[in-house]
């Protein structure tokens, strides 16, 4: 057992939970923000389970995702603006609840939670299918093209799952304003995808053939 990896993962999990609680409940002015707790449960319970599975079955993948840092300046900017977007959206959702600007019905939060959990399941399946996945744009040693499962439908199923996850978050939180802000996120991903494909075409053997086989990057029949 890699104790160092276990402690690192646990610290990041707890730290992430604390930060999100502060971002949601301080602006909300109360801890009685039911949609906030619903979101935290939907996020951290599956995250904990996935972390445990990766810890025992693929610790190298877990380690790479915990320690990932972008090297390209353009991608650092994408990560930076994504972070600002997320922070702003969580704070806005808390303020929306506090001042009751435009709170969505509970049924919207419940349906969005279902979409979130299904998308997280898709995220986990993509991790199972492709053990080369990294949080940074890179080609790893001995990496191979994966063309089965979700990769047989779109070239970037991981990004598709994250879009579904992130767009469902503000709806779980009951904030239409946060949802409108989150709509910027897919456009940030487009830049990342285009740059990633340039690297894969250049450095990953068989990727250009895979592009001919699977035509759509993100959304079937659209793009």
Query: What's the distance, CA 99 to chain centroid?
Result: 29
Q: Which of 101-115, 139-153, 202-216 has the lowest mean pLDDT?
A: 139-153
Tell me the β-bridge partners of 103: 175
pLDDT in tens, 22-38: 999 999 999 999 999 99
How is 97-145 classified by DSSP, letter by letter?
A: HHHTSSBPPHHHHHHHHHHHHHHHHHHHHHHHH-TT--SSS---TT---
Q: Write the pLDDT tens digit of every residue in 59-84.
A: 877 777 777 665 555 567 777 888 88
**Count of the separate structural domains present in the chain:** 1
Report if residue 222 sits inside a domain: no
Taking only the tens place, the pLDDT of each residue in 121-177 is 998 888 887 766 654 445 555 577 888 888 888 998 989 999 999 999 999 999 999
Q: Which residues neighbour 114 within 8 Å (Cβ) at sequence distance 6 or greater?
A: none
Domain membership of residue 64 (yes or no) is yes
CATH of the domain at 122: 1.20.120.1630
Residue 137 lies in a domain: yes
Residue 134's pLDDT is 54
Mean pLDDT, the chain, whole residue set:
86
């Amino acid at each position: 057992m890699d104790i160092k990896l276990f402690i690192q993962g646990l610290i990041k999990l707890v730290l992430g939970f604390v930060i999100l609680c502060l971002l949601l409940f301080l602006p909300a002015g109360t801890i009685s923000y039911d949609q906030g707790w619903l979101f935290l449960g939907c996020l951290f319970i599956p995250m904990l389970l996935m972390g445990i599975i990766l810890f025992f079955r693929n610790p190298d993948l877990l380690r790479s995702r915990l320690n990932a840092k972008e090297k390209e300046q353009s991608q650092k900017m994408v990560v930076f603006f994504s972070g600002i977007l997320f922070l702003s959206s969580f704070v806005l959702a808390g303020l929306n609840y506090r001042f009751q600007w435009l709170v969505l019905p509970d049924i919207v939060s419940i349906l969005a939670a279902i979409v979130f959990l299904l998308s997280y399941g898709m995220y986990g399946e993509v991790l199972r299918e492709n053990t080369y996945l990294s949080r940074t744009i890179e080609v790893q040693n001995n990496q191979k093209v994966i063309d089965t499962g979700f990769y047989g439908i779109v070239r970037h199923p991981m990004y598709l799952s994250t879009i579904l996850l992130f767009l469902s978050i503000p709806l779980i939180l009951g904030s239409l304003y946060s949802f409108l802000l989150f709509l910027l996120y897919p456009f940030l991903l487009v830049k990342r995808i285009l740059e990633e494909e340039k690297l894969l075409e250049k450095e990953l053997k068989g990727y250009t053939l895979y592009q001919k086989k699977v035509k759509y990057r993100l959304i079937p029949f659209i793009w």
